[in-house]
Amino acid sequence: MSYIELKNIVYKYPFAKTAALHSVTYGFEKGGFYGVIGQNGGGKTTLCNLIRGLVPHFYKGELHGEALIDGMDIRHWDIAELAVKIGYVFQNPFTQISGVRETVFEEIALGLENMGIPKLEIINTVVKTSKLLGIDHLLDKNPSRLSGGQRQRVAFASILAMDCEMLVIDEPTSQLDPQGTEEVFGIIAMLRESGKTIVLVEHKINLIAQYCDEVLVMQNGRVALSGKTADVLTNPQLGECGANVPEVVGFGRAMAAAGRPLGRIPITVEEAVREVKLCQSN
């Protein structure tokens, strides 16, 4: 059985006329890196809310089908226990900050305090985590006065400090400049290498291509496409599902149309360069 198993999930928000998720079936394995892409309003954030337990514990509504987290139905989980098991990094870093703590140190420590961790261990964990993410110089700053990029790193630190088994990350770079985006994905790459299970919603398709093991394409509340990243991103139906297509995929197809096909359709610039070199050497 997968770490998270979704079977024929149908979910409708309270007072909504139509379901936000329709017949969603998928399994998430431990240690996997999953990208979730697709059209706006396609169900990506609702899927994240389900995995994190906000559906049905917070948003309520009507949930049908099976949603198993580590073998137990999500309806039977305590939301506080899930918060320790599965961390959630929100799309907007300004809503991630609690607003009740006056320093970054206290903000990062908040989750640990709620877990009842001893004071000395909290101090050591906050210092270690802040150094790891390069924000130790911000520990005495007010989190409400930080930039968007700084807040996003504090948000990651607060989740990282709790050592969650899994992270659900909803469009972490939507409000960041290229440098901030690069820094955030440096953190995500580090989490991947540490063996964390990651579900990432991200519109920047080149980053999905570079980092993810598998991709789900959400369209109108359904999983329109899913599978290994290369298979999904080179699927001719991808654009029809409202998802972005990597530019290098178009390049690979153009090469084939010109009678100079590459060994395979690339999904990253690095792959494209490698395939072109191989083509030239043959």
Give Dmax over CA atoms of the chain in angstroms: 67
Global pTM reads 0.91
- CA pair distance 98, 105, nearest whole angstrom: 12
Whole-angstrom distance, CA of residue 126 vs CA of residue 158: 8
What is the C-alpha separation between 249 and 265, in angstroms, rounded? 6
User: Using the 8-state DSSP alphabet, how is residue 2 labeled?
Assistant: -
Q: What is the model's pLDDT at position 22?
A: 96
> DSSP state, 145?
G
Asked if 238 and 260 sit in the same domain, the reply is: no
> Residues 54, 58, 60, CA angle at the centre, nearest 5°?
105
- Contact between 188 and 182 under an 8 Å Cβ cutoff? The reply is no
Task: Specify whether 97 is located in the same domain as 123.
Answer: yes
Residues 172 and 277 in one domain: no
Q: How confident is the model at residue 94 (pLDDT cuts 50, 70, 90)?
A: low
Residues 227/234, Cβ–Cβ less than 8 Å: no
- Asked whether residue 212 falls in the same domain as residue 274, the answer is no
pLDDT digits (tens, 9 = 90+) for 238-273: 999 999 999 999 999 998 898 888 889 999 999 989
**C-alpha R_g of the chain:** 20
Domain range for 274 is: 246-282
Within this chain, do residues 67 and 166 fall inside the same structural domain, yes or no?
A: yes
pLDDT digits (tens, 9 = 90+) for 166-181: 999 988 887 778 887 8
Cα–Cα nearest to 197, from 84, 47, 30:
30
Q: Is the domain of 238 the same as that of 254? A: no
Residues ≥6 apart with Cβ < 8 Å to 259: none
Shared domain for 267 and 223, answered yes or no, is: no
Output the domain CATH number for residue 188: 3.40.50.300
- What's the mean pLDDT when you consider all of the chain? 91
Tell me, yes or no, whether 261 and 240 share the same domain: no
CA dihedral 179, 44, 109, 58 (to 10 degrees): 160
Both 189 and 231 in one domain: the answer is yes
Q: How far apart are CA 49 and CA 275, in angstroms?
A: 39
- Angstrom distance (rounded) from CA 161 to CA 126: 7
Over range 44-65, report the average pLDDT: 94
- Please tell me whether residues 21 and 143 are part of one structural domain: yes
DSSP-assigned letter for residue 212:
-
| Number of domains into which the chain is organized | 2
The reply to whether 269 and 155 lie within a common domain is no
- Residues 228 and 101 occupy one common structural domain: yes
- Highest mean pLDDT of the ranges 70-79, 95-104, 153-162, 178-187: 70-79
